[in-house]
Amino acid sequence: MNDTARVSGLLDLKSLNFGDFLQGNDQAQLSFANSLTTTLQTLGVAKLSMDDVPELEMLHLFNMAKEFFALDIASKMVAAHPAQPSPHRGYSFVGQEKLAAVTGFAKDRLSDSMMQDSKETFDLGLPGDAEFPNRWPKDEHIPHFKAVVQQHYKTLERVQLKVLEALSLGLGLKRDIFLPLHEKSHHEMRLLHYPSTTAGDLTGDKTRIAEHTDFGSITLLFQDQVGGLEGRPLECLVMVGDCFQRWTGNYIRAIPHRVTTPYKTQGGDPDDDIPERFSIAFFGKPNRDARVGNLAHPQFQAVQYDSITAGEYNNMKLVKTY
């Protein structure tokens, strides 16, 4: 498996047709499940064609994200993420979140712990979650924003659960083994905006997203087509998170990944313009009280993990980022 995946460097990754699992017969489902599992084991990331998610719906969500990030800073700060890590909800301005502080990769480079992420984000979770309440901009600033993003939270939750079902099948487990571990819908959806900049600005202690792994079980990442983003609309990148790695004792590992400059600008003029980009991530996360130690299966015992809860693990990581 590659040491690090560049989110903007996946043009040649072959797409797997998710429809084969959703509408196929038993043989087609097993073939897809095996292909997905093998791809994640060997590459750490897979690309799915997502014909089951209507194109206009995703375009609508991207348009709402663009409309939100185009608001003036005062309007966005109505939904401000708190200065502390929790609750991990609302709007984070450029430089507020520091993923480099939580990564354990390449610590021989002194600048890693000081790496600044050149992005702004909006995070939301389950409607009505008392522990992690959502934060919203005013309706008069961006009508229908709340309704649209909450609708897509539920849509992408259903997709994520089907991906987990396919992985269960590909691993030779009961196909519903992971579903009770996610039944409380403690997931997160994130809208991301990478402002336009120059190639020279994304050097030294600045990048778009520093190298990291995701904290949950499965991540779905949808990308626009600007700059270094190579996925066509309704193609989705799937990455394993830390909790899934822990369940499988490193049988399937969470891949370190980062977002940097497009390949075509690397090594070029530092004054080259880097266009703005948008992406949407759905972080599938286990129930906060679910245990994320090794599952009781012989093939998942190569590396032993403490049986802490998903909530404890998430907080342990999140506390370093804000």
Rounded mean pLDDT, 264-284: 76
Binned at pLDDT 50, 70 and 90, residue 309 comes out as very high
Q: Which residue has the higher pLDDT, 44 or 33?
A: 33
Q: Which residue has the higher pLDDT, 120 or 317?
A: 120
pTM assigned to the model: 0.85
Question: Which of 43-47, 198-202, 264-268 is the least confident region?
Answer: 264-268
177-181, long-range: CB < 8 A, 24+ apart:
177/295, 178/217, 181/217, 181/286, 181/287, 181/290
CA distance 101 to 112: 8
pLDDT on residue 84: 83
Angle, CA 306 vertex, CA 314 and CA 99 arms, to 5°: 30
CA distance 220 to 222: 7
pLDDT on residue 261: 56
My answer on whether omega of the bond before 87 falls inside 30° of 0, hence cis, is: yes
- Show the tokens assigned to 205: 């202690």
- Rounding to the nearest 10 degrees, give the CA dihedral for residues 310, 165, 43, 192: -60
Q: Which residue has the higher pLDDT, 260 or 16?
A: 16
Question: b/e for 92-120, b at 16 or more Cβ within 10 A?
Answer: beeebbbbbbbbebeeeeeebeebbbbbb
pLDDT digits (tens, 9 = 90+) for 188-222: 999 999 888 776 565 555 555 656 788 899 999 99
Mean pLDDT over all residues of the chain?
84
Q: Is the pLDDT of residue 231 over 70?
A: no
Rounded mean pLDDT, 103-123: 60
DSSP state of 98: -
CB 88 within 8 A of CB 81: yes
Q: Is the pLDDT of residue 106 over 50?
A: no
Binned at pLDDT 50, 70 and 90, residue 226 comes out as very low
pLDDT digits (tens, 9 = 90+) for 141-174: 999 999 999 999 999 999 999 999 999 999 999 9
Q: Is the pLDDT of residue 76 over 90?
A: yes
Q: Which residue has the higher pLDDT, 269 or 38?
A: 38
Residue that is written with structure tokens 């984000």 in the block:
121
Q: Exposed, middle or buried by CB within 10 Å (0-12, 13-18, 19+), for 264?
A: exposed
Binned at pLDDT 50, 70 and 90, residue 264 comes out as very low
Nearest in space to 217 (alpha carbons), one of 287, 151, 147 = 287
- Show the tokens assigned to 128: 């009505």
Which residues make Cβ contacts (< 8 Å) with residue 159, sequence separation at least 6?
Answer: 18, 50, 52, 53, 220, 236, 282
pLDDT on residue 270: 64
pLDDT on residue 244: 97
Question: Which of 92-106, 259-273, 298-312 is the least confident region?
Answer: 259-273
pLDDT on residue 223: 86
Q: Is the pLDDT of residue 263 over 60?
A: no
Rounded mean pLDDT, 76-104: 81
pLDDT on residue 57: 79
pLDDT on residue 92: 93
Which residues make Cβ contacts (< 8 Å) with residue 61, sequence separation at least 6?
Answer: 148, 149, 152, 280
Percent of the chain exceeding pLDDT 90 equals 60
DSSP state of 62: H
3-state secondary structure 140-203: CCCCCHHHHHHHHHHHHHHHHHHHHHHHHHHCCCCCCCCCHHHCCCCCEEEEEEECCEEHHHHC
Question: Which of 69-78, 205-214, 287-296, 298-307 is the least confident region?
Answer: 205-214
pLDDT on residue 68: 98
pLDDT on residue 114: 52
pLDDT on residue 256: 82
Strand partners, 254: none
Angle, CA 90 vertex, CA 84 and CA 96 arms, to 5°: 50
- Show the tokens assigned to 212: 């990291």
